[in-house]
Amino acid sequence: MIGLSALVQTLEVEAPVRKPSCVSKQRIKELKKDTGEWRIFDSKYAVEDTVTAHLTFSLRHEDLDLLVLKLVFAALPEKEITSYVKSAPTGPIVRRVWFLYEFLTGKRLNVPDSGKVTTIDLLDSEDYFVSEGIVSTRHRIRNNLLGTQGFCPVIRRTDVINQLISKRLSDRAHNMIRTISTALIARASSFLLLADTQASFAIEGERLPINTKERWLRAVQQAGKHPLSKDELNRLHSILIGDYRFIKPGLRTDSVFIGERFENEPIPEFIGARPQDLDDLVNGLVAASLRMSESSLDAVVQASAIAFGFIYIHPYDDGNGRLHRCLIHQILQERKFSPAELVFPISSVMLKWIDEYKTVLQNHSRPLMTFINWVPTERGNVDVKNDTADLYRYFDCTEAAEFLYRCVEETIDEDIPREIDYLTRHDKAMQQILNQIEMPNRLAEDFIMFMRQNKWQLPKRRRNDEFKELTGPEVESLESIVRTAFDGFEAESSR
């Protein structure tokens, strides 16, 4: 093993190395290859089996993992890292390690500030999404991490994300609505918002009483109206919950887990952050979001980091999933990525891709469970016995960002155009029906709806009930109008 995996083994650190690296004893054709679970390097990458050599290798060749690095630093004698820094205090890799050690641990090494050396970026913007950066004169490092010590996700630049960014989906959405009447956009937005509402509750298998639906609609409609803050999170949460008789308002004061119970014994799939850590974590999340906004980070990438970071923390007694999805709207609206007149039905796509959505969440959460020491309580809850704050503070959000960006692409390329297409065809059919037969608008709409629900044919029962006054030829004529208007329309529309 080499890099972080070697350090974790040597120092006996309990840490989730998600993709360990190793060096082949032989030469390999690709120099380095990814097997899915391991990253294998050619024998020429071999280094001395020392802490400093593995640290250097990790910063050069491995994905940045702030969580594992912090745990490794905590296990290192301070004199060893001090000696390492003093051995080459102007070296780019050494300065990065030095900065990260002091950033993550909060300790200041007994090392003088850097002299007059060129300031370098902490992260390479070709490999990572970065902030504008703040120069640390002590290390001559430009700290361009996305967050702060309180909350700092890492998102790698992948071909998937770069290609999606290049499509300029926000411009596509804004240009789309400029070519459509305000009235039609308003009607499309109304349905898309309803579809998003129903999907958000269906994702969690929750029922959707009318008052709950109205609260979700109000929350999403208000998303982005005010800058993200802890107070704004609490406000949105209060809208979503409404009734606090059985749910405590504000950040929770008890532990929370996702999973089942067997005879009142918890069987957790994932455990949220400890109550005593929530205030710092939520403040960190808010500060990181502001840092990302001020750096003009891509809005969907930012929404991924904040929304998925939020759901991992799980700061409320209930409603975390709904608020997690509401935060996506919050960021996209706040950053003006989505048009103010239109709601992206992202929850609808998540529901359509529910297995992949769950996989994204589980790929992050499952490896962490090994490092959460908990015991069951008498009331069927969990009691976490170790310090777990960093498990929620530092994480790689790349997979979630890829997933969310593809959801946004699907809404803009498929769902919104389909809804606008439906309404355009619907209006054409309505006009022709009313030109031929005088009837109430609502009845004409029902005629179209019944046909759509019955494979574009009016059901016999409806012909003998609501439309019994129509003659056979009249029914056939109206059916022809509707079929012609909807010729080629995708019948599997979410309507």
Mean pLDDT of 379-385: 94
- Claim to verify: residue 60 and residue 130 sit in the same structural domain: no
Rounded CA-CA distance 463/222 in Å is: 43
Instruction: Give the residue from 283, 357, 363 showing the smallest Cα distance to 315.
Output: 283
Place of tokens 């926000």: 170
- Claim to verify: residue 307 and residue 270 sit in the same structural domain: yes
pTM: 0.91
Q: What is the CATH number of the domain that holds 262?
A: 1.10.3290.10
DSSP 88: S
More confident residue, 206 or 307: 307
What tokens appear for 147 in the block? 């967050």
What tokens appear for 266 in the block? 């918890």
Q: Is the dihedral of CA 332, 338, 340, 345 positive or negative?
A: negative
- Claim to verify: residue 276 and residue 255 sit in the same structural domain: yes
Tell me the per-residue pLDDT of 19-75, one tens digit each, with 9 for 90 and over: 999 998 888 777 788 888 899 999 899 999 999 999 999 999 999 999 999 999 999
Band of the pLDDT at 97, cuts 50, 70, 90?
Answer: very high
Give the number of other CB atoms < 10 A from CB of residue 208. 13
Beta-strand runs (E) in 288-414? 374-376, 382-384, 394-396
Instruction: Give the residue from 167, 235, 224, 257 showing the smallest Cα distance to 340.
Output: 224
- Claim to verify: residue 461 and residue 369 sit in the same structural domain: no
Mean pLDDT of 238-245: 75
Task: Give a yes or no: residue 421 inside a domain.
Answer: no
Structural domains of the chain, count? 4
Tell me the per-residue pLDDT of 128-144, one tens digit each, with 9 for 90 and over: 999 999 999 999 999 99
Rounded CA-CA distance 279/14 in Å is: 25
Indicate if the pLDDT at residue 493 is higher than 50.
no
Residue 471: give the domain boundaries: 437-485
More confident residue, 33 or 331: 331
Band of the pLDDT at 238, cuts 50, 70, 90?
Answer: confident
Tell me the per-residue pLDDT of 417-471, one tens digit each, with 9 for 90 and over: 999 999 999 999 999 999 999 999 999 999 999 999 998 999 999 999 999 999 9
Chain length of the chain: 495
Supply the pLDDT for residue 243. Answer: 65
Rounded CA-CA distance 332/224 in Å is: 8
Band of the pLDDT at 494, cuts 50, 70, 90?
Answer: very low
Task: Give a yes or no: residue 432 inside a domain.
Answer: no
Band of the pLDDT at 175, cuts 50, 70, 90?
Answer: very high
